[in-house]
């Protein structure tokens, strides 16, 4: 239901902003006292705008982290592999791609990939596989989401 609300709302959520720090923040600024909030919230806001603002707030926080990694270590992320339960929500993934400017690669059975990844890393540690490169055929990409460049002015 939330994905439908988000998909029906225009990028930018009508100027509504959500900060996703419900339990404080750990990266890129470790501050446990930070809290989530809606900014520009009024009685005229819709459920759809609030849902979109939540998705966008999480995506902006991810962009902040990626920008910090680039600034601190000179690593620019152009492609992100997506796994876990959130990888099933296409509207949210499109927002992440649009806000971060990154190409997203979704793996098959994304909810199971965390456990599979841990097992594969353990297999390298046990010398069952010699390197991460040898694991690539075991980690196929199921779907790709490219950033929608028509949303660049908004994000």
Q: Are residues 58 and 10 in the same domain?
A: yes
The answer to whether residues 103 and 146 touch, using CB atoms and an 8 Å cutoff, is: yes
Whether the per-residue pLDDT at 88 is higher than 90: the answer is: no
Q: What is the mean pLDDT of residues 68-75?
A: 96
Q: What are phi and psi of 19, to 5 degrees?
A: -100, 120
The domain boundary residue, chosen from 33, 58, 77: 77
Range of 66's domain?
A: 1-77
Q: Are residues 101 and 40 in the same domain?
A: no
Query: Reading across the β-sheet that carries 103-106, which strands appear in turn?
Result: 79-82, 103-106, 143-145
For 15-31, how does the pLDDT look when each residue is reduced to its tens digit (9 = 90+)? 999 999 999 999 998 99
pLDDT of residue 110: 85
The answer to whether residues 77 and 65 touch, using CB atoms and an 8 Å cutoff, is: no
Q: What mean pLDDT value characterizes the chain?
A: 94
Q: Are residues 124 and 59 in the same domain?
A: no
pLDDT of residue 85: 85
As a dihedral over the C-alpha atoms of residue 67, residue 30, residue 51, residue 7, rounded to 10 degrees, the angle is: 30
For 42-59, how does the pLDDT look when each residue is reduced to its tens digit (9 = 90+)? 999 999 999 999 999 999
Whether the per-residue pLDDT at 86 is higher than 90: the answer is: no
Whether the per-residue pLDDT at 11 is higher than 90: the answer is: yes
Q: What is the mean pLDDT of residues 146-153?
A: 94
Encoded tokens for 128: 């069952």
pLDDT of residue 63: 97
Q: What is the mean pLDDT of residues 64-76?
A: 96
Q: Are residues 67 and 83 in the same domain?
A: no
pLDDT of residue 21: 95
């Amino acid at each position: 239901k939330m994905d439908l609300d988000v998909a029906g709302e225009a990028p930018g959520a009508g100027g509504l902003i959500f900060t996703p720090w419900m339990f404080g923040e750990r990266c890129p600024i470790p501050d446990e006292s930070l809290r989530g909030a809606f900014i520009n919230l009024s009685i005229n806001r819709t459920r759809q705008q609030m849902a979109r603002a939540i998705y966008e707030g999480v995506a902006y926080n991810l962009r902040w982290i990626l920008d910090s990694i680039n600034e601190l270590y000179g690593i620019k992320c152009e492609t992100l592999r997506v796994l876990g339960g959130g990888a099933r929500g296409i509207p949210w993934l499109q927002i992440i791609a649009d806000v971060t400017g990154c190409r997203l690669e979704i793996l098959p059975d994304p909810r199971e990939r965390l456990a599979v990844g841990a097992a594969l890393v353990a297999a390298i540690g046990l010398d069952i596989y010699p390197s991460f490169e040898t694991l690539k055929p075991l980690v196929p990409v199921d779907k790709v989401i490219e950033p929608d460049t028509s949303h660049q002015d908004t994000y």
